[in-house]
Structure 1
Amino acid sequence: MKIWKFASLLLAMVLMLAACGSDETAKDKTNNAGEKQSQETGKTAEGQGPTYPMTISPTTASSSDRESGQTYNFEDVTFEKMPERMVVFDYGFLDTLDALGVEGVVGVPKDTALPAHLEKYAADEYASVGNLKEPLLEDIAELGPDVIFISGRQAPYYEQLKEITPNVVFVGTSQDDYWNTFLASVDVAAKMFGKEKEAEEYTAKIDKALEEIKALAGNYETSLATMYNEGKLSGFAKNSRFGYMYDIYGFKPVTEDIEASSHGSNFGFEAILEFNPQVLFVIDRTAAIGGKSNIEADMENEIIKKTDAYKNKHIVYLDGPLWYLSGGGLQSELAKIEEVLAELK
């Protein structure tokens, strides 16, 4: 009887040890499977980081060239993994990537003056891929990019760039819906590179600045956004390239009767005097494209000196590269608001 009890006890212990071993083996298999899945999706075991494959939509489905009348259509792009080598043509998107701390940019357009806050990309470690309107296709191909980010100026080269890599994503802003397409481009960067938290923190700063500028804008009854180009002026209405100064910032346009155009409607000095805005914004395109600007000498002529904007020192000269070239980025959009605040406070 004692022998039988001993044998039963021994058998129970063997079965218990076997069960423990099976349990540990199952845990190891589960952990290994989890690690493998994390690597395949691009998501860490702690749940951080973006999940791939990922499909990215363009910020707008199409872009039209007002001069040629040509319309370019853009497609969704599915990425199997996070891109590691990027060519970025849109300075606004480059600005956002930089603000979020995203690495992997290998090429940018350098034949056009880089905005001051993006000067680090002028270094030799970043290849030149042409200018904003003429990509160097062979040079881009040699870089072997995983993705090419473009905006409106490169739209005519969309199909040619897709021959280098199918991963060509349109991240530009739309004239008709500037602010929402800007936010959509931020969303693209945040999702692709797992920077949602950083993006939220930055957009919170912008929202706070917007509240301040809206309060400031309420102090003026009329305003006019213009662009200076080698002695000539263009005016912008609500539904135009810089219409967000009215729609988003809250300044009241001095007139609605301005033709919508990417470069504005021709606007003589006499017209400015006739409308007589309380605030006159002037974007220096000449400086933006590397020309010699005489903006203050040209603007402060005998006609303009009769306007309320001049008399009250409310002619606001805006940074050309910032406003004309690099808008649509987290840093640049905040800097624009801060520049206006600094000039009018």
Structure 2
Amino acid sequence: MTNPVTILTATVAALALAGCAASDNANGPTVISYDHGALDTLLELGVDDQILALPHQGLPEYLEGMQARLPDAGSLKLPDQELIGQLTPGLVLMTGRQGAELQVEVARLAPVRDVTLPEGDYREAVNARVTSLAGYYGLEAAAGIKLDALWQHVAEQKAAVPAGSTVTVVTHNDGNLSLRSEPVVYELLDLTAATVPDAVQPVTRGERTFYPVTADILADMAPDTLLVVDRSAAIGGEPLAPQALQSTLNQAGASTRVVVLNPGLWYLSGGGLQSVRLQVDEVVDAVR
């Protein structure tokens, strides 16, 4: 049986190809982006004037300066389709966060491009997406220079990290914690993960698999640094109380330091020329 998601994705691609050429101008397509990493890449490449609108709801701090001069395009989960129809962008950037069915709906209004990061090596995935976005504006050479500078910065920051320290990354969601396989931490910076006890078992919900942990389990793991990506805080929910978690770990005899990362940057963004650099810097500051 044919996978309905495959059909939806193919439909989006066909609609995008049909409309993209007509919507482009001499400088490349005008854009509305529902992926903040793609947006910060376009900003870093200097094509600000081609951005027509952006989702204001939940906008990460590092992009908040854009709100004053661009209209509100909705949220990452609920794009403002009426606005898209009014502005008729040359390109709407979306990801799996919006879902294939919503991409098809938006593709009836304007060409859609799915900019979800490819699976596999994280650095290569970032390279591929940045280069691809730059190609719409003839800026591949500039993108290469930007990427070289980014990876040089990552290498310098990696060298500044103390040897031998262990790190655990967790996601906080409504009072619950789960282990997070964070490529910026474990691939780009090559930090050592604390050993996970055999008692930690996966839990599958729909297409997602989680590895729930408790403060007691984290105390047994005893990483030097515990990095928290606070999903609840990022989407307007009740944030984690880091002092309470820190106290529990201390009482259990763990010398772990709890650091809550910037919620919007880590849960709602990433994979862009600006966001990767900001994430690397935040992690290195946390573990030094």
Same fold (TM over 0.5): yes
Matching of residues 296-311 of structure 1 within 5 Å: 296-306=242-252, 308-310=254-256
TM-superposed deviation, 1:308: 4.1
Partner of 2:138: 194
- Tell me, what secondary structure is at the counterpart of 1:323? helix
Q: Is 1:227 aligned with 2:167?
A: no
Looking at structure 1, the residues matched to 225 and 201 of structure 2 have their Cα atoms a distance apart, in angstroms, of: 17
RMSD: 2.8
Give the Cα–Cα distance (whole angstroms) in 1 for the partners of residues 124 and 88 of structure 2: 31
CA distance in 1, matches of 2:125, 2:223: 29
Deviation at 1:274, TM superposition (A): 1.9
Aligned residues between the structures? 268
SS at match of 2:79: coil
1:107-126 matches, cutoff 5 A: 107-111=53-57, 113-123=58-68, 125-126=69-70
Task: Show the counterpart of 2:72.
Answer: 128
- Which of 257, 261, 264 in structure 2 is aligned with 1:321? 264
CA distance in 2 between partners of 1:276 and 1:98 (Å): 40
- Code of the residue aligned with 1:187 in structure 2: it is T
Cα separation, 2, equivalents of 1:255 and 1:70: 37
Provide the residue aligned with 2:148 in structure 1. Answer: 204
Tell me, which stretches of 5 or more residues in structure 1 are unaligned? 1-63
CA shift in 2, pair 1:175/1:218, >3 Å: farther
Aligned match of 1:251 in 166, 182, 191? 191
Q: Distance in 1 between matches of 2:79 and 2:245?
A: 35
Paired with 1:153 and 1:309, the residues of 2 have a C-alpha distance of: 37
8 A Cα contact 2:60 2:264, kept in partner: yes
Q: Secondary structure at the match of 2:229?
A: strand
In structure 1, C-alpha distance between the alignment counterparts of 2:271 and 2:139, rounded to whole Å? 17
For 1:25-104, what aligned pairs fall within 5 Å after superposition?
73=9, 75=13, 78=17, 79-80=20-21, 81-82=24-25, 83-102=28-47, 103-104=49-50
Task: Judge which range, 80-89 or 154-163, deviates more.
Answer: 80-89
Could you report, residue by residue, the CA deviation over 1:290-318 in whole angstroms, capped at 9, with x for unpaired residues? 334243233213235535442xxx43321
Q: How far off is 1:138 after superposition?
A: 2.3
After superposition, the C-alpha distances for 1:124-149 in whole angstroms (9 at most, x for unaligned) are x4222221111222221111111111
Distance 1:109 1:218, change over 3 A: same
Question: Which residue in 2 is equivalent to 1:284?
Answer: 230
CA drift of 1:190 comes to: 1.4
Look up the match of 2:105: 160
In structure 2, list runs of 5 or more residues that go unmatched: none
TM-score, structure 2 length as denominator? 0.81
Label 1:343 to 1:96 Cα distance change in 2 as closer, same or farther (>3 A).
same
Shift of 1:180: 2.8
Mean CA deviation greater in 78-87 or 259-268: 259-268
State the alpha-carbon separation in 2 of the partners of residues 116 and 176 from structure 1.
28
Residue 117 of structure 1: how far off its partner (Å)? 1.7
| Alignment partner, residue 338 of structure 1 | 281
Counterpart AA for 1:231: G
2:40, 2:274 within 8 Å by CA — same for their partners in 1?
Answer: yes
- Displacement of 1:106: 1.1
Higher RCO, 1 or 2 (CA under 8 Å, sep at least 6)? 2
Bigger-Rg structure (1/2)? 1
Secondary structure in 1 matching 2:108: helix
SS at match of 1:182: helix
1:169 maps onto 2:113 in alignment: yes
The answer to whether the 8 A contact 2:195-2:221 is kept is: yes
Residue pair 1:234, 1:263 contacting (<8 A) in 2 also: no
Structure 1 residue 244, shift from structure 2 partner: 4.0
| Cα distance between partner residues in 2 of 1:250 and 1:301 | 28
Work out the CA distance in 2 between the residues paired with 1:132 and 1:263. Answer: 22
Q: Which moved more, 1:138-147 or 1:89-98?
A: 138-147
Residue in structure 1 matched with residue 219 of structure 2 by the alignment: 273
Task: Assess, with a 3 A threshold, how the Cα gap between structure 1 residues 88 and 306 changes in structure 2: closer, same or farther.
Answer: same
Q: Distance in 2 between matches of 1:304 and 1:225?
A: 18
CA displacement, residues 52-103 of structure 1 (integer Å, 9 cap, x when unaligned): xxxxxxxxxxxx9xxxx96663537554344443111111101111111112
Q: What percentage of aligned pairs have identical amino acids?
A: 27
Secondary structure of 1:225 counterpart: strand
Distance in 2, Cα, partners of 1:252 & 1:294: 24
